[in-house]
């Protein structure tokens, strides 16, 4: 079984919500992300699009970082956000754009 990536957010809630964190680690990262039907890169593309569409900036932060590690480029991230702005709504796209900009600015520090 694959190991979930480190997460300070999951570590913070572990004492209060141990089952939720266990499901995240074991089912989401251990089972779902390891299925052979899609590459991790493809899963990242889909996940980033879904998080943009559902306006989940907190989760988008970790998944954009994961997507970049899985081979998705910054240009592709920009295209996902722009594309989803038309399908999921302009505020969703603009929120995602701000979140991604925050990620890239944090990388410079």
Q: Are 48 and 83 in contact (CB under 8 A)?
A: no
CA 14 centroid distance within chain: 19
Give the pair of three-digit tokens for residue 100: 């991604």
pLDDT digits (tens, 9 = 90+) for 61-106: 999 999 999 999 999 999 999 999 999 999 999 999 999 999 999 9
Q: How far apart are CA 104 and CA 72, in angstroms?
A: 14
Tokens representing residue 105 in the block: 């600015």
CA distance 94 to 54: 12
Q: Domains of the chain, with CATH numbers?
A: 6-35 (no CATH), 39-108 (1.20.1290.10)
C-beta separation of 49 from 60 below 8 A: no
* pTM for this model (two decimals): 0.91
Residues 6+ apart with CB under 8 A from 2: 29, 30, 33, 34
Q: How far apart are CA 101 and CA 65, in angstroms?
A: 12
pLDDT tens across 56-70, in order?
A: 999 999 999 999 999
């Amino acid at each position: 079984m694959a190991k979930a990536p480190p997460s300070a957010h999951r570590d913070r809630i572990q004492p209060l919500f141990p089952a939720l964190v266990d499901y995240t680690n074991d089912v989401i990262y251990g089972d779902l992300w390891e299925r052979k039907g899609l590459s991790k890169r493809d899963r990242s593309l889909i996940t980033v699009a879904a998080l943009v569409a559902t306006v989940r900036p907190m989760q988008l932060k970790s998944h954009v970082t994961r997507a970049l590690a899985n081979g998705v480029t910054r240009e592709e991230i920009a295209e996902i956000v722009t594309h989803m702005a038309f399908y999921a709504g302009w505020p969703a796209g603009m929120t995602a754009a701000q979140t991604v900009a925050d990620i890239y600015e944090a990388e410079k520090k």
